[in-house]
């Protein structure tokens, strides 16, 4: 785990100091060691640098950039099955001078070329320079656990684990990408490949970039996509056989993530996902695993439940009750560590529990991804039931009704009713599963009457949802799960990456294991979510281990009193960022509309309150990075 940066400079003007300046912005990601090197090729100058958080092979032999023959590498992440791959390479005549997974990656690339990634179980950004062929190749893991930003202009390319590194290179021109701003307000995050700046983009999960430095041709290649497994015929096996296989995969995924030369702990929230992961891990360990829970005196608090589960499992449990002052002080730091706008409120508790865990361990295991692969979100039930209701309308009437009602509902004063009418009319379709896809989009985007009025100009929309053929799917829940896996999940994973790395802690996610996702995608939907019950097969497994009585509770999660804070203790900070004078600075907003929304918000009349947090998040980011 670490932070990496680099450049490809066709002007030959960059240098080690530029690399050092970029890397210094990522010191929190890798406080144990730093390395930066420039390579002068015939076609260009290449710079690689890494700030290291030592997890496997703590010796200086793990220093990066690392070299083997004509190859040089910088690497962020972990290859959990590196020992098995190493054994295979040893049998093929390779030898090793360290016990790092980084060295295994280099030898694997020299042995198998671009297909080497198919052997890896892990999370990674891998950048390799081939000095002989003058090529650079950069891989991102399948689910998008590890982030990578790239910037391109006429001088060359920059890449980095975090955007803030680009600000330290003379190539970089920080120009706002207005379409990405619209996407942020629409979704609350900016999905790959887009980024907040022009000429800047994210490498998509399951893809790699190949730079031919001689020809200056860049090729993006997809090496893995979960949709390929959803579109396979469903597996013909019994529920009990499927449950047995899922448990085997869960145990393998969890045990792999315990591989470390430093202490490992677990985030335990008390929900099914973290409790199940924790129970499986502790079952296979002789020593008590450290578990960490964060509690709040305000909002929803599951700390007491987590404590009961920790006692049942037998972990060494640690809990910390945060004050509102802890959270409110952290909010001021969010724009620095989330250097691209991200409006996920759970950034705050995730950072707080990471800070707490960092006092005890250097690696933490979390349980992100369970809802996306097992079918846990409440929105799946909403889509299923609404789809059933809309399907009672004869297909021949749907186009007519959509045309009749596909107009602004400004005459309806009640915002809640207006939103419901738009939700229904925008979703209607008589084409198989298009209606389901429309329902998903409507649920996960800002109401259209907001999106059409936020800005003072017409903005081209970005393609933020998948290009899929809904008719190829058997049911609407599989469609929603796939989109969640490929669209918001990488943003959620980046949230955890930023939160843990702020405190120099490595986060690992066993439920993101691609083998588990591939198998579950091929299971019949009724094994996962039948439209009434969620996470059926996973809950069944966890209940066998921990008991149904302890586990069966409504799904809740974190709930912070954000809006109470914004109107009271954080009122000055909110006004400093969201006053009309501040909003004028970017020259992108429809000030009359936003002023009206702010008044409704203060008077508790605003229907879509997430808009306010998105506005506040964006303005804090803008004032940090654009002024």
Q: Chain centroid to CA 300: how far? A: 24
Identify the bridge partners of residue 267 per DSSP, sorted by sequence position: 292
Per-residue confidence band for 301, with pLDDT thresholds at 50, 70 and 90: low
Residue 556 pLDDT greater than 60, yes or no? no
Question: Hey, what's the torsion of the CAs at 187, 190, 192, 196, to 10 degrees?
Answer: 150
Q: Chain centroid to CA 242: how far? A: 28
Q: Which two tokens stand for residue 417?
A: 């009713």
The DSSP secondary-structure symbol of 39 reads E
Collect all residues with Cβ–Cβ distance below 8 Å to 260 and sequence separation of at least 6.
Answer: 55, 56, 362, 363
Q: Which two tokens stand for residue 300?
A: 């929803």
CATH fold, domain 228-375+484-551, is: Rossmann fold (3.40.50)
Collect all residues with Cβ–Cβ distance below 8 Å to 455 and sequence separation of at least 6.
Answer: 178, 181, 182, 588, 589, 590
Q: By mean pLDDT, which of 112-116, 207-211, 383-387 is the weakest?
A: 383-387
Residue 86 pLDDT greater than 80, yes or no? yes
Report which secondary-structure segment, H or E, holds 212. strand 207-212
> pTM score, two decimals?
0.94
Looking at residue 417, its pLDDT comes to 65
Residue 62 to residue 149: CA distance in whole angstroms: 24
- Predicted confidence (pLDDT) per residue in 136-157, tens digit: 999 999 999 999 999 999 999 9
Angle between helices 82-91 and 101-112 (to 10 degrees): 50
Do the Cβ atoms of 621 and 346 come closer than 8 Å?
Answer: no
Q: Provide mean pLDDT across the span 229-256.
A: 97
Looking at residue 284, its pLDDT comes to 81
- Predicted confidence (pLDDT) per residue in 399-434, tens digit: 877 776 665 555 555 566 666 676 777 788 877 788
| Active-site residue identified among 2, 254, 322, 578 | 2
Looking at residue 521, its pLDDT comes to 98
Q: By mean pLDDT, which of 314-318, 340-344, 546-550, 595-599 is the weakest?
A: 546-550
Q: Provide mean pLDDT across the span 164-176.
A: 97
Is 2 a residue of the active site? yes
Per-residue confidence band for 517, with pLDDT thresholds at 50, 70 and 90: very high
Residue 56 to residue 99: CA distance in whole angstroms: 7
Looking at residue 468, its pLDDT comes to 82
Looking at residue 448, its pLDDT comes to 79
Arithmetic mean of pLDDT over the chain:
92
**Three-state secondary structure of 125-150:** EEEEEECCCCEEEEEECCCCCCCCEE
Residue 412 to residue 410: CA distance in whole angstroms: 5
Looking at residue 408, its pLDDT comes to 55
- Predicted confidence (pLDDT) per residue in 518-545, tens digit: 999 999 999 999 999 999 999 999 999 9
Name the residue ranges covered by the structural domains of the chain. Answer: 2-224, 228-375+484-551, 378-483, 562-625
Q: Provide mean pLDDT across the span 122-134.
A: 98
**Three-state secondary structure of 263-303:** CEEEECCCCHHHHHHHHHHHHCCCCCCEEEEEEECCCECCH
Residue 29 to residue 521: CA distance in whole angstroms: 33
Per-residue confidence band for 589, with pLDDT thresholds at 50, 70 and 90: very high
Do the Cβ atoms of 194 and 202 come closer than 8 Å?
Answer: yes
Q: Which two tokens stand for residue 76?
A: 């962020």
Q: Which two tokens stand for residue 265?
A: 């702990």
Do the Cβ atoms of 190 and 183 come closer than 8 Å?
Answer: yes
Within 13 A of 102's CA, how many CA atoms are on the CB side? 33
Superfamily of domain 2-224: Aminohydrolase, N-terminal nucleophile (Ntn) domain (3.60.20.10)
- Please provide the distance, in angstroms rounded to a whole number, between the alpha carbons at the two ends of the chain: 32
Coil vs helix vs strand at 194: coil
Looking at residue 401, its pLDDT comes to 76
């Amino acid at each position: 785990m670490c932070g990496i940066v680099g450049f490809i400079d066709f002007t030959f003007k960059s240098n080690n100091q530029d690399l050092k300046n970029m890397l210094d912005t990522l010191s929190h990601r890798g406080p144990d060691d730093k390395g930066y090197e420039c390579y002068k090729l015939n076609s260009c100058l290449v710079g690689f640098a890494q700030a290291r958080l030592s997890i496997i092979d703590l010796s200086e032999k793990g220093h990066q950039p690392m070299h083997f023959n004509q190859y040089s590498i910088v690497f962020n992440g972990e290859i959990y099955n590196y020992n098995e791959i190493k054994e295979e390479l040893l049998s093929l005549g390779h030898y090793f001078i360290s016990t790092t997974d980084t060295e295994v990656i280099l030898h694997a690339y020299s042995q198998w070329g671009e297909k080497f990634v198919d052997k890896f179980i892990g999370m990674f950004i891998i950048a390799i320079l081939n000095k002989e062929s003058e090529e650079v190749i950069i891989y991102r893991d399948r689910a998008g656990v590890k982030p990578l930003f790239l910037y391109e202009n006429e001088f060359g390319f920059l890449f980095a684990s975090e955007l803030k590194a680009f600000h330290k290179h003379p190539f970089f021109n920080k120009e706002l990408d207005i379409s990405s701003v619209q996407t942020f307000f629409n979704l609350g995050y900016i999905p790959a490949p887009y980024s907040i700046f022009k000429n800047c983009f994210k490498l998509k999960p399951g893809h790699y970039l190949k730079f031919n430095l001689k020809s200056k041709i860049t090729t993006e290649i997809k090496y893995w996509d979960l949709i390929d497994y959803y579109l396979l015929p469903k597996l013909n096996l019994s529920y009990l056989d499927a449950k047995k296989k899922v448990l085997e995969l869960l145990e393998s995924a969890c045990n792999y993530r315990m591989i470390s030369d430093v202490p490992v702990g677990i985030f335990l929230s008390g929900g099914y996902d973290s409790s199940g992961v924790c129970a499986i891990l502790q079952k296979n360990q002789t020593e008590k695993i450290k578990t960490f829970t964060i509690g709040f005196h305000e909002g929803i608090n599951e700390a007491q439940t987590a404590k009961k589960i920790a006692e049942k499992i037998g972990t060494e449990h640690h809990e910390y009750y945060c004050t509102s002052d802890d959270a409110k002080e952290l909010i001021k730091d969010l724009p620095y560590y989330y250097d691209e706008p991200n409006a996920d409120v759970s950034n705050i508790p995730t950072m707080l529990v990471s800070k707490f865990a960092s006092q005890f361990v250097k690696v933490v295991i979390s349980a992100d991804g369970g809802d996306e692969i097992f079918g846990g979100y409440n929105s799946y039930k909403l889509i299923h039931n609404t789809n059933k209701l809309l399907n009672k309308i004869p297909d021949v009437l749907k186009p007519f009704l959509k045309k009749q009602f596909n107009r602004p509902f400004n005459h309806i004063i009640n915002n809640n009713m207006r939103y419901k009418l738009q939700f229904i009319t925008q979703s209607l379709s008589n084409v198989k599963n298009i209606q389901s896809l429309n329902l998903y989009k409507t649920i996960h985007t800002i109401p259209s009457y907001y999106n059409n009025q936020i800005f003072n100009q017409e903005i081209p929309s970005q393609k933020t949802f998948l290009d899929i053929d809904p008719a190829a799917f058997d049911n609407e829940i599989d469609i929603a799960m796939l989109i969640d896996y490929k669209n918001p999940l990488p943003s959620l994973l980046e949230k955890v990456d930023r939160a843990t790395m702020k405190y120099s802690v490595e986060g690992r996610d066993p439920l993101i294991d691609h083998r588990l996702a591939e198998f579950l995608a091929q299971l019949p939907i009724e094994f996962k979510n039948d439209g009434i019950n969620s996470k059926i097969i996973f809950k069944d497994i966890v209940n066998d281990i921990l008991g149904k009585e302890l586990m069966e509770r409504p799904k809740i999660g974190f709930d912070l009193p954000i809006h109470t804070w914004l109107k009271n203790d954080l009122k000055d900070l909110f006004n400093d960022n969201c006053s009309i004078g501040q909003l004028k600075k970017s020259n992108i907003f429809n000030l009359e509309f936003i002023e009206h929304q702010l008044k409704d918000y203060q008077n508790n009349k605003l229907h879509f309150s997430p808009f306010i947090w998105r506005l506040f998040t964006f303005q804090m980011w803008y004032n940090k990075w654009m002024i």
